[in-house]
Amino acid sequence: MPPHTRLGHLMIRVLLVVGGVSLMVMMAIVVGNSLGRAFFRMPIYGAIEIAGLAGVIVVAVAVGFAERERRNVAVDVVANRLKPRTRALADAFTLFLSLGAVAFLLWAVLTDALNALTIRETTLTTGVHVAPFKFTWAIGVIILCLFLAQHVIEAVRKGRKG
């Protein structure tokens, strides 16, 4: 296995553990809040904010993993009719467009995260600083960019060989 593949595999495994723990926190908070409301008439303070912040971590991990596994949505109606080389080049082009859009998203997310850090933005109920969670989202988008770039390169190589 090439070093970049091993690194990507290790990175995703670590992130999946982090995402899994965040998902369990989300589930525990939502279930605990529901049970607390139903049986004790006492919700968990800040449950919605805690679940939302944990959700940021889950999604940040999921977007990179989905791209690594090529589990993104693709419509193959036209692409399946193309010759292999043409399809590879079309894939490279669409992946390149996706990379551009995600790079723009990254710029917006980093700008927002830096702004949240500068103004010390907090959640309304619990007062938790949101900048770390916005930077976590930015890390997820960076990982998505890296896997998109890897897939662009692979598609270009496949198109040149075909």
Q: Where are the domains of the chain?
A: 3-161
Q: How high does pLDDT run on average in the chain?
A: 89
* Residue 2: strand, helix, or coil: coil
Q: What is the pLDDT confidence band of residue 66, given thresholds at 50, 70 and 90? A: confident
Q: Is the pLDDT of residue 78 over 80?
A: no
As a whole number, mean pLDDT of residues 95-104 equals 95
Q: Is the pLDDT of residue 33 over 60?
A: yes
Q: Is the pLDDT of residue 80 over 80?
A: no
Q: What pLDDT is stored for residue 65 in this prediction?
A: 84
Q: How many CA atoms lie within 13 A of 90 on its CB side?
A: 13
Q: Is the pLDDT of residue 162 over 70?
A: no
From residue 119, give the alpha-carbon distance in Å to each of 88, 112, 155. 46, 11, 42
Q: What is the pLDDT confidence band of residue 74, given thresholds at 50, 70 and 90? A: low
